[in-house]
Amino acid sequence: MDAGTPILNPGEAVILAFGAIRPTPWVVDGRVEVRRVAQLALSFDHRLVDGELGSAVLTEVARVLRDPVGALIDR
């Protein structure tokens, strides 16, 4: 999966979809480098979770995946 929208089942509040990890051209410090990149998609029940919290969760998941050791030390 490169992109998509995860569908909540009845009784679920949040679901995270993790796309395929693929080598992708990525701009790093003004240069193009090949990086391993995956797309994340988060769906949530807006009656329970607002967009600000959903965005914050997705940002934190991406941060931990980008630097797992740093995320452990940072806390």
Residues serving a catalytic function are 46
Torsion angle of alpha carbons 6, 40, 12, 55, nearest 10°? -120
Q: Are 35 and 65 in contact (CB under 8 A)?
A: no
